[in-house]
Homo-oligomer: A and B are copies of this chain.
Amino acid sequence: MATQQILINGQWISSTGSNTFQATNPATAETLEPLYPVSPWNEIEAAIQAASDASKQMRGWSGERFAAFLDSYAEEIEKRTEALVETAHLETGYPESPRLRDGELPRTTNQLRQAATHAREGSWAMPTIDTATGISSLFGPIGPVTVFGPNNFPFAFNSIAGGDFAAAVAAGNPVIAKGHSSHPGTTQIFAEAADTAAKATNMPTGFVQLIYRTSHEDGCRLVSHPLMGAIGYTGGRSAGLTIKAAADKAGKPVYLELSSINPVFVLPEALNERSADIAEEFKGSCLMGTGQFCTNPGLVILKAGASADTFIQQVTQKFEEAPAGILLSKGGQTGLEAGIAAIEAAGATLITGGTASDGPGFSYANTLLKVSGNQFLANPSSLQEEAFGNSALFVIAESDEELAEIAEYLEGNLTGCIYSHTDGNDDTLYDQIAPVLRQKVGRLLNDKMPTGVAVSPAMNHGGPFPSTGHPVFTSVGIPAAIHRFSMLQCYDNVRPHRLPEALKPQNPNSKLWRYIDGMYTTDDYSS
Contacts and interface: CB of A to CB of B under 8 A. Distances in A.
Interface stretch (A81-89, A198-206, A454-462): A454-462
A450 B489 CA distance: 15
B492 A445 contact: yes
B60 A435 contact: yes
A181 to B, nearest CB: 26
A457 B130 contact: yes
A447 interface: yes
A434 B132 CA distance: 24
Contacts of A456: 130, 132-133, 135
Residue from A462, A484, A487, A491 with most neighbouring chain B CB atoms (10 Å): A487
Interface string A464-503: 1110011111100000100110111111111100100000
A460 B472 contact: no
Contact of A487 (B140, B415, B469, B471): B471
A186 interface: no
A232 to B, nearest CB: 14
Nearest to A448: B493
Contact of A488 (B60, B465, B472, B518): B472
A168 interface: no
Given A458-B129, A488-B462, A445 B515 contact: no
A442 interface: yes
Contacts of A59: 435, 438-439
Contacts of A268: none
Contact of A520 (B462, B472, B513, B518): B513
A200 to B, nearest CB: 26
Contact of A454 (B133, B430, B458, B469): B133
B459 A137 contact: yes
Interface stretch (A210-218, A245-253, A318-326): A245-253
Contacts of A283: none
A244 interface: yes
Contacts of A128: 457-458, 480
A330 to B, nearest CB: 30
A487 B412 CA distance: 12
Contact of A457 (B412, B438, B472, B515): B515
Nearest to A488: B460
Interface in A500-520: 513, 515, 518-520
A380 B466 CA distance: 37
A446 interface: yes
A472 B483 contact: yes
Interface string A50-70: 000000100110000000000
A462 to B, nearest CB: 6
A498 B427 CA distance: 10
| Copies of this chain present | 2
Contacts of A457: 128, 130, 515, 518
Contact of A490 (B249, B250, B443, B446): B443
Contacts of A435: 56, 59-60
A302 interface: no
Contacts of A463: 487
A60 B249 CA distance: 36
B494 A445 contact: yes
Nearest to A470: B253
A161 interface: no
A444 interface: yes
Contacts of A165: none
A486 B460 contact: no
A471 B142 contact: yes
A460 B253 contact: no
A10 interface: no
B251 A137 contact: no
Residue from A251, A439, A442, A443 with most neighbouring chain B CB atoms (10 Å): A251
Nearest to A474: B488
25 contacts: A56-B435, A56-B436, A60-B435, A128-B458, A128-B480, A130-B454, A130-B457, A133-B454, A139-B472, A253-B470, A415-B492, A430-B498, A442-B488, A442-B490, A443-B491, A444-B490, A444-B491, A445-B493, A445-B494, A446-B492, A462-B488, A472-B483, A480-B488, A513-B519, A520-B520
